[in-house]
Amino acid sequence: MTVSAARFEIRPLAEAQIPLVTAWARQEGFTPGSGDVAIYRQTDCQGVWLGWLDQTPIGCIAGVRYNADYGFIGLFIVRPDQRGHGYGIQLWRHALEHLSDVRCIGLEAAQDRISDYASWGFQPASTTRRWQLEVPADAPSGLPTAGLGLSGLKPSSPAAARTAAGVSPDLGDWLQPGSSLILVTAAAIPEAALQAYDASHEATPRPHFLRDWLRHPAGTVLALIDGEQRCHGFGRIRPCQLPQGQGWRIGPLIADSPQLADRLLQQLLQDHPGAVLIDAPGANPAAAELLRCRGFAVVGETLRMYRGPIPTLPLQDVFGLACLELG
């Protein structure tokens, strides 16, 4: 028998409830990264909610508004023991109402939910594949480049590394023929350049989300910067919670070429043993080639869907998404 909806209430997620939602996400196999849910809440403080039944939280959803042009729905969970009573549809409608005046809404659909979302006006755009690699604890610091055509990248001079303020010497420098690119991390990354680069590869600029995402103390951020302080690629790796144990998630991973993406990937994998996950758009065949060559295997697939005008994105440069919950 359906439980009375009068006992069900939807409230904004409070900071104290973030560990609970993170635990739910882990149980559902979402593999949340350290600090992820808090960043979703900070991106849109009115865009993440808990569903309560008789003062007990039983579900959650995020409907984050980046701006008037774009929003994203994710983190949609109802506790297994409370499914089938209509609470999920109430959370869903609540998120849609929050984004009712947004021009385009995106989401990642599990295979068994595609038809449900299509009935609400969401159209398919491209597949997203989750790849996983088991990095051994004794993995060498360098990975082979055979089969990827990476010979155009070579180490720059030690002097060049020393002249780049804030560059970590153990990360190394790399040159493309005819142009100098320096691999930088942490405070040495020019944020304005990175924000501009990200905005040129996403459906909309996302300055608040990206600032918190890249400044979070958990994980490592690397960027490839030229002599004019322009960004040509960047990536982040962060610890995540697997259904059993701990692992790592890479995202975003964006670069001008597969060679540059591979250089970032190699460096991000260093000193991160264990399971490493990355969500790559299926519309970029170079991403699949790169990840397969590096030893990753596909472990899951979702479908990116949109309601409203489908954004035209340079997915040939996108090798890993930041997260499936916010795009």
Claim to verify: residue 149 and residue 220 sit in the same structural domain: yes
Claim to verify: residue 97 and residue 135 sit in the same structural domain: no
Range of the structural domain that residue 34 is part of: 5-102
Record the pTM.
0.86
Claim to verify: residue 80 and residue 146 sit in the same structural domain: no
Q: Contact 20/28 with Cβ under 8 angstroms?
A: no
123 within some domain? no
Q: Contact 246/238 with Cβ under 8 angstroms?
A: no
pLDDT in tens, 91-113: 999 999 999 999 999 999 999 99
CATH code: domain of residue 243: 3.40.630.90
Angle between helix axes 36-43 and 18-27 (nearest 10 degrees) is: 120
Name which of 126, 161, 176, 38 is nearest 312 in CA terms.
126
Name which of 242, 238, 239, 240 is nearest 27 in CA terms.
242
Number of helices and strands (H, E) in the chain? 9, 15
CA distances to 31, 77, 319 from 15, rounded to whole Å, are 20, 18, 32
Claim to verify: residue 217 and residue 286 sit in the same structural domain: yes
pLDDT in tens, 164-176: 333 333 333 444 4
pLDDT in tens, 184-199: 998 899 999 999 999 9
325 within some domain? no
Claim to verify: residue 77 and residue 136 sit in the same structural domain: no
Last residue of a domain, one of 86, 102, 118: 102
159 within some domain? yes
78 within some domain? yes
CATH code: domain of residue 36: 3.40.630.30
- For residues 240-270, one letter each, b for 16 or more C-beta atoms within 10 angstroms of the residue's C-beta and e for the rest, the string is bbbeeeebbbbbbbbbbbbbbbbbbbbbbbb
- Only one residue has tokens 């697997």, namely 242
235 within some domain? yes
The pLDDT of residue 176 is 44
117 within some domain? no
276 within some domain? yes
Claim to verify: residue 141 and residue 51 sit in the same structural domain: no
Claim to verify: residue 227 and residue 86 sit in the same structural domain: no
The pLDDT of residue 144 is 38
% pLDDT > 90, the chain: 81
Claim to verify: residue 98 and residue 168 sit in the same structural domain: no
CA angle 100, 105, 107 (to 5 degrees): 130
Claim to verify: residue 146 and residue 248 sit in the same structural domain: yes
pLDDT in tens, 214-229: 889 998 999 999 999 9
**Domain total of the chain:** 2
326 within some domain? no
Claim to verify: residue 35 and residue 143 sit in the same structural domain: no
Beta bridge partners of 109: 303
Claim to verify: residue 168 and residue 315 sit in the same structural domain: yes
Claim to verify: residue 210 and residue 286 sit in the same structural domain: yes
